[in-house]
Every structure is written in C-alpha cells, then in structure tokens.
A and B are shown apart, each in its own frame.
Chain A
Amino acid sequence: MKHTVNRYFKLWLAFFRNTLSRDMEFKMNFIFEIFIDIIYYGSLFFFFKVIFQFVDALGDFNQDAIIIFLILVYIADSLYVFFLGNNVFEINNKVKSGDLDFILLKPINSQFFISCRYVGIYSLISMGILLILLINLTYAYHENSLLLINYLFCGISLILGMLIFYSFEFIISSLAFWFRNFSYAGWLSGELIKYSRRPDSIYTKWFRKTLFSIFPMAMISSVPSRLLIFGFDLKLFLLQILITCIFLWITTIIWKRGLMRYESASS
C-alpha cells in the first residue's frame, strides 16, 4: 500500500514538472489564467455587492459571512483546478479520437491518469493570496481570535468538497462513452456547479434538502463555510464524508462501465 502511494505520488510530481514546463511555453496565457481568476472573483464579489444594496443578510449569512463564503468558493475552485480541473473534460476528446488507448496501455490506474495528468499550476498563486485574505477576514469576524479547530475541519471539508466537485464533473464528462461526442459537458457541468457558488441559505424547502443529499452542491463551499464561520457541526461533517465516499465510488463504477462501451475510434 505504502509503495503504491509512493509510486503514484512520484508520478504526480512528474506530471507537475511536465505541466510547469508546458505552461512556460505560453507565458502570456499563464498570466491570462491568473487574470481569469481575478475577473471571476471580482464579478462574483460585485454580484453580492449589488445584492447587499437591497438586503442586510441572506439567511444565516450576513455581508461579512458572505465575503468569507466567497473566498472559500474561490479556494475550493482553485484547489479543484490545481489538482484535477484541467483534465476531466479531456475524456470527451480522448474517447472521440480513440486516444484513450494510450492511457489504457499504461501500467497505472487509468482513472488516476486521466484525472491528474495536467496540474493547474497558476492556481497556486491565487490560493496563496486567498488563504492570507481568509485568515485575515475570519480573524476579524471571530473578534480577533484564531479558531484553529475551525480551520482544521474547514480544510478537511474543502478537500471533501473538491472530491464531490470532481465526482460530479467526472460523471458528466464520462457520458461521452454513451453519447460518443459530448463536447458540451463542460457547459452542463458549469451550470450545475453554479448552485455551489451561492450560499445554501438562499434555497428553501425540498430543494435545499437535495443540495445536501442527492445533488450535493452545498457540500462544496457552503459546508466548509459553515464549519469555519459557525463552528464544527458533527452531523454535517459526517454527512459530507458519507456523500463524498458514495460519489467517488460512483465515479469508479461509471468509469468501468464506460470503458466497457469504449470502441477505440481510431483503431
């Protein structure tokens, strides 16, 4: 087990080095990628700025809490882009062109390879800045006290959220095995992920319940925010672990089923 983890970690480091050298080929695009993050963060921040002209709080979240929530949305996004986000939608191209053959021939787990091949290095810069901002803001929010236990559970929750984010995009992207060409998977997934970019408190009744269960968008950013802002909630935390495990398990099932349907287009 230790040997396997070590081997995959070394492999991931090799992916990291390779992606870095590729990114440096198009330095301007690398800068533009950081620019995208700034635009994205700015537009979402502006959205809530306009909203708070008309209201003081959105459910449990007041204006300060919303800013912390937004920073956690950005961190969750950067974390996902760093580890997994640049790969998932390549499944469609690989299935369509038959290039998946080259991955299946390699003596490693094909799902790991297709999910981790490219690393979103530029998001490290955003993540660093956002973490500093987050610590500053939560320190002020909690009346100048640093609640380390909240950060710990929020950190774990963010990683779990990232895995749910990944599972969702991976499942949608894997539909390419059934549809042959599903180039709009990114668009569909983007529309679904939007639900995670608003605090769960804006949703009501049955829909809110689905966001914490079968369509767990609230688990991506809202749950880590709740754990950081309002403190540890055992029930929510255990639910998030359970849902993450279920969704990760579904990705492996979908991937295996998809591979059975794969026809290797170019062979």
Chain B
Amino acid sequence: MFKYFSILRINWIHSLEYRANVLIGLFAILSGLFIEYQIWSLIYESNNHSKIPMSGIDGGVNFNQLIVFIFLSIIVGQIKSSWVTSSQMIIEIRQGLINKYLIRPISYFWYHFMMFIGINSLYIIVYTLLLLLFILIFPGMIFHTLISVLGFIASLLLSIYLSYCIYFIMVCFSFWFGEVRSLVLAYNLAMLMISGQYIPIRLFPEKVLEIINWTPVPYLVDFPVSIATGIIPVSDWSHKFLYSFIWCIVLTVLSYLIYKKGIKQYEAYGQ
C-alpha cells in the first residue's frame, strides 16, 4: 500500500509545480456559474420569480436554491473529472509505454488512480476553501447538519471512484483501437450535461430521469450535491449509498475484465 502513497505524494508535488492551473479551475467554476446565473435569472424573471418544479422537492426551488445547487454541481463535476490522466494512459498504451508497469509489482489500475488523486489534490484543497468561504458568506444555504458534511464527503469519494472507473474502461479501449481520446472527450462533453453539472438532473423530463436512474450517472454529481443541500433526507441515504457502492463493485470488476482482455491484445508498438 505504501508504494501507492508514494505515487500520490509524487503527483501532489508535481501538481504544486503548476499552481496557476488552479486559478483557471476557479475561473471555470465562477464563469460557468455566471452564465447559468444569467440564464436562470431571465427565466425566473419571465415566471415572476415563482418557484420552478424540481423532482424530489415539494413546491419546487427558488432562484437562490437553484444557483447554489448549480454552484455545487460545477465544483463536484470538476473534482471527479479525470481527463488529464486518461490522455496520458491512452498515449502510453498506444505507444507501447505501459511495459514499465507490467514488469513492476504494481497494479496499473491503482497506480493511475493514485496519480489521478495526486494531480487533483491541489484542486480539491482549493475548492474546499471555496466551499468554506461560501458557507461563511451564506450560512445555512448548504450543510445544515454535521452529518450532511460527512455524507457529502463519503458520496464525493464514491463519485470520484466511480468516475475514475468509467474513465479507466474507456481508456482500455485503446488496446483495440489505438487512439480513443475523442471517446473520452465525447464522454466529458456528454457528462457536462447528463450528470447535471450545468442543469440539475432533477429538472430533466421525467422519462429521461427514469433512464438515468438505472445508470451510475446520478451518483456522480447529483447524489453528493443533494446531500449537501439537504434535498435527500438522511433516512434515504442508506439505500442510495448501497446502490452507489454496488455500482463501484460492478465497474471495478468490469475494469479488471476489460483490462485483462486488453492486455492480451497489447503488442507494445514502438518498443
């Protein structure tokens, strides 16, 4: 286990080299929020500031509640995103550079997971500070109880793991197709919308929501954000956590199976 923490530490140090990138991350959050703010303020003005119906909330949501929900969704959406390490993994597979992992006593899956956490650690710290600042400025908007903070952290960890598994499965397709960065990009674009990063999935049409609920998608953004904002009552947490955990197991097994098949296909081109 210690060896994986070394990877985490090295990547944490590496992420500190490019601190300015965090500023872009912060800008992305605030800029995305600003665009949503503009659109939704226009919508609420057209509806005479009446509440908008939202699945799972009696009486709907007002403007402030919705903006807070979107704000948190953008933060969670960014934390779970793993496109930097995915690109690197695809290049490694395509160029035959994963030999170095195969001859070492480490798991390729966990190596890159720790790398992903290490690279994102600076973002996680800065976004946490942003959240703390938000709580100080707008008390009572999120995290109504201490248990909601713990629930948010636990659901966020599951979300990060689930997201990584999905990325890992996509990356493994490069064993067959060589270059699949466009697939990862397509997934990122789709997830911006489907996971509820810009529009809460609870505002989606009922039929779309029914389909999404059969996938791991609600556990990527909506679940942690709903806990933080108190939309999901504590009594409902257990079965949501259970489903999320089951998805983690299913995707982990799938990742291992596809990787195992892929590695048989691997020919170490260029080496």
Within 28-44 of B, Cβ neighbours of A (below 8 Å) are at 28, 31-32, 35, 38-39, 42-43
Complex Cα spacing A202 to B38, Å: 6
A43, B189: Cβ atoms closer than 8 Å: yes
Query: Quick one: CB contact mask for A110-150 with B, threshold 8 Å, 1 for yes?
Result: 00000000000000000000000000000000000000000
A202 to B35: give the CA distance in the assembly, Å: 9
B180 touches A191 (CB 8 A): no
**Which of A28, A191, A194 is B179 in contact with, Cβ under 8 Å?**
A28
Question: Residues of B contacting A202 with CB < 8 Å?
Answer: 38-39, 42
Mostly helix, strand, loop or mixed at chain A's interface?
A: helix
- Interface size for B (C-beta < 8 A) is 35
On chain A, the residues within 8 Å of B181 by CB distance are 29
0 or 1 for each of B181-209: is its CB under 8 Å from A? (1 = yes)? 11101100110111000110001110000
CA distance A198 to B194 in the complex (A): 18
Known: A43-B190, A43-B193. A28 touches B38 (CB 8 A): no
Q: Is the CB of B182 within 8 A of A59?
A: no
Can you pick out 30 interface pairs between chain A and chain B where the beta carbons lie within 8 Å of each other?
A26-B178, A26-B179, A28-B179, A28-B180, A29-B178, A29-B180, A29-B181, A35-B182, A35-B183, A36-B185, A43-B189, A43-B190, A43-B193, A47-B198, A47-B199, A49-B205, A53-B203, A54-B47, A55-B42, A58-B39, A58-B42, A181-B18, A183-B18, A184-B18, A187-B24, A192-B31, A194-B32, A202-B42, A204-B38, A207-B38
A contacts, CB < 8 Å to B: 26, 28-29, 32-33, 35-36, 39-40, 42-44, 46-47, 49-51, 53-59, 179, 181, 183-184, 187-188, 191-192, 194-195, 198, 202-204, 207
Query: Which 6 A-B pairs rank lowest in CB-CB distance, beginning with the nearest?
Result: A43-B193, A32-B182, A28-B177, A29-B179, A36-B186, A26-B179
